[in-house]
Amino acid sequence: MIAAPLVALALAGIAAASPAVPPQPKAKNPQCNFWANVRDRFINEIFLGVCAQDVHSMVRISFHDAIGFSLHSEKGGGADGSMIKFQDVELKFPANEGVDFIVSFLQPFADDLGISYGDAIMFGTAVGMSLCPGAPRLPAFVGRPDATRAAPDKTVPEPQDDLTTIFARMADAGFTPTELVHLLASHSMASQAGVDPSPDLLGAPFDSTPFDFDSQVFLEVMLRADSFPAGGSGPNLGEDKSPLPGEFRLLSDRLFARDSRTSCAWQENALNQTAMASNFAAAFKKLSLLGQNQAKLLDCSELIGTPPPAKNKQAFFPAGTNHDLIEQACATQLFPTTLSTVAGRATPIPVVQLQDCPTCPTFKRRA
């Protein structure tokens, strides 16, 4: 009952024609009227009305851009769009490999609208996530000034980093290990780019439901694994074995799921879709305001539509897996035996195809 629609969706990739997007909320605050047009253009021109690769790319750049920030030393300016403004610098950093794809859309799009790059990233992420089944409604603040400096290298944690180093970097930006796990709910729609350079694995997803914001990635990372994806060059730096054919696992994700500092938060996300979504929304709000004075921003969250409901209310064991493969790490709660299991043999998970943006015109770059 679960497997058929999942396989059909995966094989279809993104729809050939954009589905009908539900009517979007109208602005109550007249100051947000302009941003209603920005929202509609994001939906129609960037995301093409679907929750697909461009939405995940927005979520990824929102983290990579904002986390270049420090509470204790001079780094970047936080959620300020420096990833776009200073792309000649920041896109050369190894951790930002693959971000150039969404930058190539966002930079001319923001320039045409006359909005800051920081607003394009954070407002656009909130809009994109509203198209994704199971996602929370994200806050949308606007009015960020342009970035004045590039963030330095090594501000974005990488999957090969040891956890103590990652936790220290996140603490320097103001996030606890638990809040980091909450942000990692974004991996429910993620796919790899650059960890394995093999062309066949570009877009290999992190879980079996890459077009849904759901708990599957947290459950599937807890499964015992014994092989690297076929067609790839694994093991690669930052890569771990994966439990399903075609699925890609980051080394850091496996460690988060099994480390005493984060294993219980990880398991909670695996077992509670509602809590996972709510926790992500809170962590994203904090991320979106890094380096900003909230009192000087305009809250246009009222413009963000309600995302479609989650397709599955609870995570499940994909075909070819079962509860016996769970590697229990949380010391305070056993993983339950009540989750459903899809019958049959494991089915290879196709890569997530990059979205083109045929409706994105080419604009002159803002000076």
Q: pTM of the entire structure?
A: 0.90
Residue type, 342: V
Binding site for heme b: residue ranges?
Answer: 187
CA distances from 96 to 56, 160, 187, 255, 305 (A): 14, 14, 16, 21, 29
Distance, CA of 87 to CA of 90 (rounded, Å)? 5
- Residues marked as catalytic: 64
pLDDT of residue 106: 96
Distance, CA of 304 to CA of 300 (rounded, Å)? 8
pLDDT of residue 74: 84
Compute φ and ψ for 186, nearest 5 degrees: -60, -25
Binding site for Ca(2+): residue ranges?
Answer: 65, 78, 80, 82, 188, 207, 209, 214
Q: What is the largest CA-CA distance in the chain?
A: 59
pLDDT of residue 261: 98
Q: Give the chain as a 3 state SS string.
A: CCHHHHHHHHHHCCCCCCCCCCCCCCCCCHHHHHHHHHHHHHHHHHCCCCCCHHHHHHHHHHHHHHCCCCCCCCCCCCCCCHHHHCHHHHCCCHHHCCCHHHHHHHHHHHHHHCCCHHHHHHHHHHHHHCCCCCCCCCCCEECCCCCCCCCCCCCCCCCCCCHHHHHHHHHHCCCCHHHHHHHHHHHHHCECCCCCCCHHHCCCECCCCCCCCCCHHHHHHCECCCECCCCCCCCCCCEECECCCCCCEEHHHHHHHHCCCCHHHHHHHHHCHHHHHHHHHHHHHHHHCCCCCHHHCEECHHHCCCCCCCCCCCCCECCCCCHHHECCCCCCCCCCCCCCECCCCCCCCCCCCCCCCCCCCCCCCCC
Domains and CATH numbers, the chain: 33-325 (1.10.520.10)
Contact of 266 with 223, CB cutoff 8 Å: no
Measured on CA atoms in the order 198, 199, 201, 203, is the torsion positive or negative? positive
pLDDT of residue 3: 31
CA distances from 103 to 76, 146, 189, 202, 258 (A): 18, 15, 19, 18, 34
Distance, CA of 50 to CA of 48 (rounded, Å)? 6
User: Residue 123: which of 108, 103, 144 has the closest Cα?
Assistant: 144
User: Residue 89: which of 12, 143, 150, 5 has the closest Cα?
Assistant: 150
Tens-binned pLDDT, residue by residue, of the chain (367 aa): 233 222 222 323 333 344 567 899 999 999 999 999 999 999 999 999 999 989 999 999 999 999 999 999 888 999 999 999 999 999 999 999 999 999 999 999 999 999 999 999 999 999 999 999 999 999 999 999 999 999 999 999 999 999 999 999 999 999 999 999 999 999 999 999 889 999 999 999 999 999 999 999 999 999 999 999 999 999 999 999 999 999 999 999 999 999 999 999 999 999 999 999 999 999 999 999 999 999 999 999 999 999 999 999 899 999 999 999 999 999 999 999 999 999 999 989 999 887 654 444 443 333 3
Q: Which two tokens stand for residue 317?
A: 């064991």
